[in-house]
Structure 1
Amino acid sequence: MKFCTIPFAVAVALTAITVHAQEQQTPAAPATADAARDALAKKEGEGDQSALLKQTLTAVDKQYTLIRRNQVAVTYDLNYAYVGEETIVTDIANGSATLFNIQNNNSHTVTNTFSADYGVRDNLTANVTLPLLSRYADTATRSGMSNSLGDIGIGARWQPFEARRDQPGLTLTGTVRLPTGRSPYKIIAGTGEATGAGVGAATVGVNVNKIVDPVALFGSLNYTMYTPAKDLWQVNGSRILTRVQPGSSFGFGMGFAYALSYGISTTVSFQEAISAGAKLRFADGLEAKTHLQTSGVINFGLGYRVSPKTTLNFSVGIGVTPDSPNLMLGMNMPLSF
C-alpha cells in the first residue's frame, strides 16, 4: 500500500469541491468490486513475478531460458572461491605411524567472467565465456599469486519444445571448454599457480524448470568427458609425469526460486559432481590411478530487480563434501541495461 502527502493548494480545492457537492446533495457513487480490483491491481511497469523468476534462473544458471533471435546479451560474473585443508604429515616405521606436523594449505581464487549470448533462433542460443583468474595459494612449501586467462568456453542451449506456462520447460545444453589457461601439469614448482584445467572438455546436459507463481522449480543433469594431457615432463616427487587422462564426471542439481515481491527473489539449490579417478603415467613406465571424487555444494541466492529488464543476482555457496570448495561467493549483472 502506498501513502502520499497532498499539497496544501490541492487540499483546499478538494475541500471546496466537497462542500459544493454537499450543498447540491448529490449522492456519491457506491464503491464496486471492480473498482477495488482496479485499485489493487499491479500497475504497468511494476513487473511480473514470472518474468522475474525467468530472469533469476537465467542469471544464476544461464541455462533455463533463452533470448530472442538476433538478440545479444552480455553479462559479467564475479566469483570468489576459498579452499582450505589440513594435511597430516606422518612417517611409517616398524609398522607404526608417527605424527610429525600438520600443514595448512589455502587457496583463494577470484574469477572475472565475461559472457556473450546470441540468439541464433528463438529456441537456440549460442554463447561464449571468457574467464580472467587471479589465484593465490599459501602452503607450507610455497606461496604465490597468478593472474591469467582461464579456460574459454563455447556452447549452445536449445529448447526442442515451445515453452508453455502450464508445462515444464526443457533445455538441452552443450559446451566445449578449451585449455587456454595455465595448465597445472606444465607449471614448474615455485613459478605460479594454475588458472586452467590443462585439458579440453566437452559437456552435454539437460535442464528442466517449472514455474508455479510465485515459485520456480528446476533441475539438471550433465555428463563431461575430458581429453588427455600428453607429452608432459613434470617432476612429481621422485618421478616424472608424462601423461594424464582425467576421468569422466557426472553431475546433477536441483532447487527452487521464490519471488518475495515484484523486485526481490531468492533461490536455494544443491549441485553435486561425481568424477572418476584420473589415470597417470610416468616416464619410468609406472601407471597409477587417483580415487573417485565427489563435490557437493549448497547455494543460496538473492535476486534484486533494479529495472523491468535488469536483475542483479548474488549467491553464497557452501561445500558439503571434502572434495568441494569451502566457500564460494558470486555476483551476476548484465552489461547491457
Structure 2
Amino acid sequence: MTTMKFLIARPLALALATLFAIPAWAQLNTTPPATAPGAAPASTDAARDALAKKEGEGDQSALLQQTLTAVDKQYSLIRRKQIAVTYDLTYSYVGEERIVTDLANGSTTLFNIENTSSHSVTNTFSVDYGLLDNLTGNVTMPLISRYSDNNLSNGASNSLGDLSLGARWQPFEAKRDRPGLTMTSNVRLPTGRSPFKIIAGSGEATGSGVAAVTGGVSVNRIVDPVALFGSLNFTLSAPAKNLWQVNGTRILTRVQPGKTLGFGMGFAYALSYGISTTLSFQQAISAGSKLRFADGLEAKTHMQTSSILNMGLGYRISPKTTINLSVGIGLTPDSPNMTVGMNMPLNF
C-alpha cells in the first residue's frame, strides 16, 4: 500500500511543481512583441490598462478568503443576518490487506490474506447564518453512500450521516496588517448509522455512533497573493452505552472513544484574479478506545494517527461564485488512501 501511495503522490507532486513553475517561466520569457510596420508604438497608459484587473474580477484577497472557506469553514465569517449555503461532494477510498491467523495449541492452523476495500461518497449541505458580524452559526447535514467489499461479504449503505451544529467567533476585528484569529466550536449528533449496532453483513456504518464536542482555534494571514493558515482543535466523545453487538465470540456492551487532538497548516496562492491553488496538511491523533464486553472483559485499542496532504485548485466563475477542487493523499495506515472533493456555494 505504501508503494501505491508513492506512485500516486509522485505524479501529483510533479504536476503541482509544474503548475507553480509556469508563472515563473512566463516571467523569464516575456519578450516584448515586435511593432508592426507603420503602427504607432504602444503607450505606457495602454499597457497599464491591459494589465489592470477588469470590472467584476474582484480582489485577490477576496478570492483567497473564499479559498480558505472551501479548505475549512473555520477560517471565515459572514455578516449579521446573512445566509450562505454551500455544497460539498467528497469521494474517499480505503484499501488494506490484513493477515488473518488462527492459533490453536500454540501452532498456526489458518493463514490467509484478507483484502478489504471501502468506497464512500458524501454529499454535504451546509448553512451558515450571521448571528453577529463576528459570530457565525452553522448547520451541516451529510448524506453518505458507502460500499465495502472483503473476502467474506460485501455491503452497501445509503443514509443520513452525523448532523453537526457549530459556531465561529472572532474576538478581534480582522485587519489586513495582522493575522485573523477565530475561535471554533462544534457539536456532532449521532444521527448516522452506528458502527456499534450493525450486524455483520447487514450494511455499512454512516456515522460515528456517539455524540462529540470539538473546540479549537484557527489563525490566517493574507499577504497578497498568498494566504497562510493553521488550526488546532480538541475533541471529546460521549460513550456508547447499552450495546449488544456480537463481536467474534463476545458481545460488546460499551465503548468509550478516546480523545482526539487535531491540527493543520497550509497556504493558498492566487495565480490570477480568477484562479488559486492550495496546499495543506492535516493530522489527527486519537487515543485508544475502551471496550467492555458482556462477560466483564475490558480492552483498549491502540492509538491511531491520521494524516492527509491536500492539493486544491479554485476557479472563480463569477464575482460571487468560486468552485474548488481538491485531491488528498493519505500519509499513514490509519488515513484514507485517497480523497477527491468539490466545494461550491449554492447562493449565486
TM-score, length basis structure 1: 0.88
Deviation at 1:95, TM superposition (A): 5.0
Pick closer, same or farther for the CA change 1:306–1:240 going to 2, 3 Å: same
Report 1:235-274 matches (<5 A).
Answer: 235-274=246-285
Equivalent residue, structure 1, for 2:131: 120
Within the candidate set 169, 180, 186, 2:180 is matched to: 169
Equivalent residue, structure 1, for 2:171: 160
Equivalent residue, structure 1, for 2:27: none
Task: Structure 1: state its 5+ residue gaps.
Answer: 2-17, 19-27
Deviation at 1:33, TM superposition (A): 5.7
Within the candidate set 79, 82, 94, 1:83 is matched to: 94
Distance 2:51 2:204 in 1: 58
Within the candidate set 228, 236, 258, 2:239 is matched to: 228
Deviation at 1:38, TM superposition (A): 4.7
Q: Is the 8 A contact 2:268 2:279 kept in 1?
A: yes
Amino acid at match of 2:228: L
TM-score, length basis structure 2: 0.86
Within the candidate set 278, 288, 291, 1:280 is matched to: 291
Within the candidate set 123, 131, 140, 1:129 is matched to: 140
Amino acid at match of 2:125: F
Deviation at 1:35, TM superposition (A): 6.7
Distance 1:179 1:108 in 2: 21
Aligned residues, how many? 312
Of structures 1 and 2, the larger Rg is shown by 1
Distance 1:117 1:244 in 2: 33
Amino acid at match of 2:248: G
Amino acid at match of 1:74: V
For the aligned residues, what is the CA RMSD? 2.0
Find out whether 1:71 has 2:82 as its counterpart: yes
Amino acid at match of 1:171: T
Task: Structure 2: state its 5+ residue gaps.
Answer: 1-29, 31-38
Pick closer, same or farther for the CA change 1:100–1:303 going to 2, 3 Å: same
Secondary structure at the residue paired with 1:199? coil
Please give the per-residue CA displacement for 1:255-293, whole angstroms capped at 9, x wherever unaligned: 000001111100000000000000000001000000000
Deviation at 1:31, TM superposition (A): 8.8
Q: Is the 8 A contact 2:53 2:273 kept in 1?
A: no
Report 1:2-81 matches (<5 A).
Answer: 37-38=48-49, 40-81=51-92
Aligned-residue sequence identity (percent) comes to: 77
Distance 1:174 1:239 in 2: 37
Q: Is the 8 A contact 1:256 1:268 kept in 2?
A: yes
Distance 1:127 1:85 in 2: 35
Distance 1:273 1:322 in 2: 13
Deviation at 1:245, TM superposition (A): 0.2
Q: Is the 8 A contact 2:134 2:169 kept in 1?
A: yes
Distance 1:34 1:212 in 2: 27
Please give the per-residue CA displacement for 1:167-212, whole angstroms capped at 9, x wherever unaligned: 0011110000000001010111111111000000000010000111
